[in-house]
Amino acid sequence: MKIKLSAAIITTFFMVISDLAAAEVWTTCSFEDFRKGFFGNAGQNIYVSANGTLQRIHHSDINLDGEVDLLFCNSQAHEEYVHPVVYRNVLEDPGRQIELRLGGVSSAIAVGDLNGDGFDEVVFACGWNGSSWIPNNMIFYGAAEGISNRYHHYLVATGGRPVIGDFNGDRLPDLIFVYGNADQGKLTLFANTPQGMPSTGKDMPFTDAAMKQEANYIAGVIAVPDIGGDAIVYRMNNGGLNIFRNLNGKLELKAEVLLPPDPDYQEVKNRLANNQFVPDPKPLLRSIKLNGKLYIFGAREKSSSLYPYTNGKLDKANAITFKINNALALAAGDVRQKGLQDLVFAAKDTFNGKECSWYYPAAADGSYPEKDRAAIPTYRANDIALADLGGKALSLIIMQSNIITSYDGSTLLYKEFTGAESLKNTPVKLPCGDARMILLPRMAGRQQLVLPHTRSGQATSILPVVIYTGRNGSFDPERKIELMANGAMDGVFADLDNNGYPDVILANEVEMSPHLDDGSYIYFNSKEGFEKTPLKLPTRFATGIVVADFDGNGHLDIVFTALADELTMYYNQGNRQFQRRDIKLGKNCKTLWLATADLNKDGFLDLVVPVLSEGRSCILWGGKDGFDYSRRQDFNINRSQNVKIADLDGDGWLELLFCGMYPAIGKPHDCYVTIFHGSRDGYKDHRRTQLPANDANSLAVEDFNNDGLPDIFIGAYDSSLSRELDSHIYWQHPVDGFTKDNRFCLRTEAACGVIAADFNRDGWLDMAIVNHKINTKHVSYSQVWYNDHGKFSGENTIKLPTSGPHGMINTPLTNIMNRSAAEEYISEIYQRKSAAETLYVKLSADIPQSTRVKLALRSADSIETLQQAPFVEVDVDKAIPVRKIPGKYLQYRLQLIAQDGINTPKVRSVEIIFN
């Protein structure tokens, strides 16, 4: 088909082309061009990439399908409160057992007959129970049928190390809890009476110079006879033995040295202020009788000895020494029924290249020749016992506390142990949840086995984070992406390599396994999906992340927090190359999460750093040279762990919302979210609002009831007594602002992360909230809470499996100033060169479904008046009469709109053509 054009048409066509060629054109089409303009909130969520593309930074849609996806930073997979198990008759039926319902886990335990009925009681010094550090210590009373939950006694005491003996000379067995891991310790005495044990004890402070040594503490206690009654011997962490003498029916509160510290001892410093790494078991303090003499077990790194003891003195010259490395416990018994006391040692020694413990048969003269000993195959043994469990012979029990990566060890039971030949038999394996002692209370006719479990499950933080992908506003446990991490606490979805696919940045705190710290991770994304191996950036126990183009080179940089008095910044050089620059903070300035925004409107991003230790939370003011701790503003608040930024009152200045840590016990409430109100004059201490909270480490600022005012969701993580708590939405009142009574409750479980978005597109903002654990179980679930016209109900949720997550994405997905869906860019000022009748606006942009771009213009005849002129929205690709925009000076404003951070428009060029 041929088309023939008339001469008139051809002439007109060339006239139009000629006019356009002569038209004045203002073009923004490169990295340098866009950098001349102004980025909303100084580029907190918008930037121009090095290839000249204007785009948003933070994403919520990892697979680009138009739905919000949910990242849960799984961090822990262990059960941190496992009850002790009592075996009814372990020789006949190991499955017949009961759990003792303690108030908290216990690895400091005493066994003895407190009431003289011939049956032993078990005293538990209770500690962490998953919610509180101050559960009551407990006595479980023995009976002919053994220990059970039927008879128990709560004591008004918590923790310490229990020991049973006659400490006041009245010939009744008393109970003392020994406390000491600082310059000063105390003994809490529960003096027994003919009527029974009291519930409240008497504190007796003591001092011991040994406790002043770094990383030294009391690791074990026993009672031994002395001149005036029973004395207390205690073992320090460094292997030293000290004694509180009893000379006249009363304990001396000045300790004497029985045995100096082990010269080969070295403390392994694996613990930090905020991690749950559980150290290896320490040697147990034991006393045994051999040939009528009392001996005290003195464990050393390279050998172990039995020291004869008499009335407050050790006979070191006549000690029996054994060539055993890393012995932790011993037991004695007439194994071969010859009237001789054989010995067994729990140890981490080696024989023929394999780890072992040891059996020493006694010679006829009562000695223990090394040549006669036999290796017992064990792995990480920490206690050992020879027990009368009702069989034909003594039973050998060996406790193996854990296997390094898991708390789930095993306890080996040789039902009938008659000597080395019995080691050829296959032992029964009983579960062992990081128990530290074998308990053998006396019941009718025999002893009963009790295993005091403490924890179970994975002992490291090497876990995959999980991303649940949205579909039609809902989430399914089967629809997920998993990426391996190491105790992740924060994440960001951002396109670091500018290939069009958001990558995942993860801050790894490695809380459970600091010795395995291999930095934080970047998982790069592409059309084919995520790369299997992440890029690892060295960090020091990183917990929080902010991402922005801080140096303006067109590549997104990363700032990680650290539990190390510093921030770690990685400047992105492009091509996946990052240059590290640490930002040193002051002493005691450890921080978990942080935030960034331009708080003083100088065009530079600032960093807001909440401090959870003794240091001051602060703003690090940004500038062309980056950040320096000397250029900051401190805030008069203590122990803050997170911060959010928003303009709560709509005055154009950002408020800072600092999240307080868990409240103190027995004092007026001291945990708040503290709001410092922004203004032209900056932040003042008296311009604050405080809202009661319970360890608020997660917070969301959004308009949850659609009244036009932003509200505040405050997650409740820990009340110091419980983790099953109400989180709250504080509603904003147009006159009063925020008050403690105007709030809505949501029952959550140790909430520690939140994302707010309209998942189901009904016009009401929903929330995904992290449950760190349910009761004491980390392997549980978190929840998506749907908003029903401003109301939330536990009945209207979706449960998603999670494993002890410590966060989600901490940075808001929307505009940090007003929480709108739009991020703004304002161009440089342009001066028109000639008169025109119309103008055209042309965009070269990728605008994915569910995103939009709006363009507005303003003009004036002077630069001064231009700054006050309003922007007028205009249509793209349509002729606009210049009389509507008549000024000599012009600016345009682009709004890149992405609801809930789903994807981003990408603008490559803007052309304004004047005709």
How far is residue 588 from each of residues 293, 536, 639, 671, 697, measured CA to CA in Å?
Answer: 52, 27, 11, 20, 19
Distance, CA of 648 to CA of 781 (rounded, Å):
32
Give the pLDDT band (50/70/90) at residue 14.
very low
Confidence at residue 208, expressed as pLDDT on a 0 to 100 scale: 74
For residue 182, the model assigns a pLDDT of 55
DSSP 759: T
- Residue with token string 């990558």: 503
Give the pLDDT confidence score for residue 775 in this predicted structure: 83
547 has pLDDT over 90: yes
Res 184: pLDDT? 66
Determine what percent of the chain is predicted with pLDDT higher than 70. Answer: 95
The string of DSSP letters for 574-620 reads ETTEEEEEEEE--TT---S--EEE-SSSSSS-EEEE--SSSS--EEE
pLDDT at 6: 39
Q: What is the pLDDT of residue 228?
A: 94
Least confident of 13-17, 162-166, 426-430, 505-509: 13-17
For residue 256, pLDDT beyond 50: yes
Q: What is the Cα 109 distance to its own chain's centre?
A: 29
Query: For residue 915, what are its two tokens?
Result: 């005709």
What pLDDT does 640 receive?
Answer: 95
Q: Residue 413: what are its φ and ψ, rounded to 5°?
A: -125, 110
Instruction: Flag whether pLDDT at 396 surpasses 50.
Output: yes
Contact 583, 570 (CB under 8 A): no
pLDDT of 435 > 80? The answer is: yes
Q: Which residues contact 171 (CB under 8 A, 6 or more apart)?
A: none
pLDDT value at 21 more than 90: no
Specify the pLDDT at position 240.
92
Residues 824-874: tens digit of each pLDDT: 999 999 999 988 899 999 999 999 999 999 999 999 999 999 999 999 999
Q: How many CB atoms lie within 10 A of CB 478?
A: 7
pLDDT score recorded for residue 80: 82
Span 747-806, pLDDT tens digits: 999 999 999 999 999 999 999 999 999 988 899 999 999 999 999 999 999 999 999 999
- Residue 402 has a pLDDT of 76
| DSSP 3-state of 864 | helix
In angstroms, the CA 889 to CA 879 distance is: 19
Averaged confidence pLDDT in the chain: 93
Determine the Cα–Cα distance for residues 528 and 252; give it in Å rounded to an integer.
Answer: 73
Q: Is 774 helix (H, G, I), strand (E, B) or coil?
A: strand
Residue, of 187 and 273, whose pLDDT is higher: 187
Q: What is the pLDDT of residues 554-606, one digit of tens each?
A: 999 999 998 889 999 999 999 999 999 999 999 989 999 999 999 999 999 99
pLDDT tens per residue, range 191-205: 999 999 999 999 999
User: Which amino acid would we find at residue 272?
Assistant: L
User: Between 103 and 629, where is the model more confident?
Assistant: 629
pLDDT in tens, 287-315: 999 999 999 999 998 889 999 999 999 99
What's the average model confidence in pLDDT over 134-154?
97
Q: Listing from the earlier edge strand, what are the strands of the sheet with 743-749?
A: 699-702, 711-714, 724-730, 743-749
**CA 621: distance to chain centroid?**
28
Residue 483: predicted pLDDT: 98
Average the pLDDT over 543-552 and give the result: 98
- Domains recognised in the chain with CATH numbers: 25-51+824-914 (2.60.120), 59-77+460-584 (2.130.10.10), 78-457 (2.130.10.10)
DSSP string, 148-189: -SSSEEE-S--SSEEEEE--SSSSS-EEEEEE-SSSEEEEEE
Task: Give the least confident one: 102-106, 210-214, 523-527.
Answer: 210-214
Task: State the DSSP code for 658.
Answer: E
- pLDDT band, residue 515 (cuts 50/70/90): confident
Looking at residues 536-549, what average pLDDT do you find? 97
Please say if the pLDDT value at position 518 is more than 70: yes
Amino acid 272: pLDDT:
43
717, 697 in Cβ contact below 8 A? Answer: yes
Determine what percent of the chain is predicted with pLDDT higher than 90.
84
What is the pLDDT confidence band of residue 2, given thresholds at 50, 70 and 90? very low
CA atoms of 653 and 649, how far apart (whole Å): 8
273 pLDDT above the threshold of 90: no
Residue 437 DSSP one-character state: -
pTM: predicted TM-score of the whole model, two decimal places? 0.90
Q: Which residues of 121-158 are buried (b: 16+ CB within 10 A; e: fewer)?
A: bbbbbbbbbbbbebbbbbbbbbeeebbbeeebbebebb
Q: Give the residue, 274 or 46, on which the prediction is more confident.
A: 46
Cα(777)–Cα(83) distance, integer angstroms:
13
Are 485 and 472 in contact by the 8 Å Cβ rule? The answer is no
H/E stretch holding 14 = helix 7-22
Q: H or E element: which one contains 313?
A: strand 313-314
Average pLDDT of the residues in 720-730:
93
Identify the pLDDT of residue 910.
98
pLDDT at 135 over 50: yes
Q: Is the pLDDT confidence value at 17 over 60?
A: no
Tokens of 424: 């050829």
Instruction: Note the pLDDT of residue 696.
Output: 95
- For residues 465 and 491, is the Cβ–Cβ distance under 8 A? yes
What confidence tier does 406 reach under pLDDT thresholds 50, 70, 90?
confident
Query: What contacts 758, CB < 8 A, 6 or more positions away?
Result: 764, 765, 766, 899, 900
